[in-house]
Amino acid sequence: MSSNVDYVAHLTRESARFAEAIARAAPDVPVPSCPGWNADDLLWHLGEVQWFWAAVVREDVTGEQAEELKPPRPSGRAGLLTFFDRASHDLAEILAATPPESAAWTSSDDKSVAFIRRRQAHEALIHRVDAELTAGSRTPLDPVLAADGVDEALRVIYGGVPDWGTFTPEGDGLVRLRAADTGASWLVLLGRFTGTDPGGTSYDEPAIYPAASDPGSDAAAQVAGAAADLDCWLWHRPPLGPVERSGDPRVLERFEAAIGPGVE
């Protein structure tokens, strides 16, 4: 996590850009990057997510308790926009007012407001992309935020290992991801994730594990592009520019299998 990124400021800007984009799309237009959703479903989704996390921090409750407090979905575009505007404003306000080191419930091992700040900045960013795809008009992503998004996707979304699971390296597969515009790079080890979660679901699937830093050692394959394009690619959103893959095709195939299920 970068201490140089103002997550609350990015959250505020990306939420506003989301609202501008979604307002240009008719309520029933399908969201191409979220199968089964229309524009109003996307608007409700980000609104309820932002409401949820504001409640978690403000009320100091668990996720289950926050769900019990959640209001029903408003009917119609006007009601959804009003709900989103209030939820977005409240989330930014409570996160700005709460020290990042404060404890808060999360679904991660990191139980801090800092985790929520970062996650919600990227939630707003990716759904802003979804809204622009729905409206048929794309705008650039901030390169620094996008590079941080690549880091979060690799380390938290795809590469996090909960305490009930195990990552086991397989073969000699190392993949380097390189953001050509910011100079950031990540070295990723390929393997398998196994374990049984507290709910009784068992896992045995391809997985990745990012190195703490990239020492510049040899890698079997590389994925390179602008930070924004890498971020979109990892989230299974269409990048604006090229994402170039090179090296051992079998290693690249294993890496893409590990990120294949995607994230919402």
One pLDDT digit (tens) per residue for the chain, 264 residues: 556 899 999 999 999 999 999 999 999 999 999 999 999 999 999 999 999 999 999 999 999 999 999 999 999 999 999 999 999 999 999 999 999 999 999 999 899 999 999 999 999 999 999 999 999 999 999 999 999 999 999 999 999 888 899 999 998 789 999 999 999 999 999 999 999 999 999 999 999 999 999 999 899 999 999 999 999 999 999 999 999 999 999 999 999 999 987 654
Residues 167 and 101 in one domain: no
pLDDT of residue 209: 95
pTM: 0.94
Enclosing domain of residue 221: 160-259
Q: Are 2 and 118 in contact (CB under 8 A)?
A: no
Residues 52 and 94 in one domain: yes
Residues 53 and 109 in one domain: yes
Q: Are 195 and 166 in contact (CB under 8 A)?
A: yes
pLDDT of residue 160: 85
pLDDT of residue 218: 93
**Does some domain include residue 71?**
yes
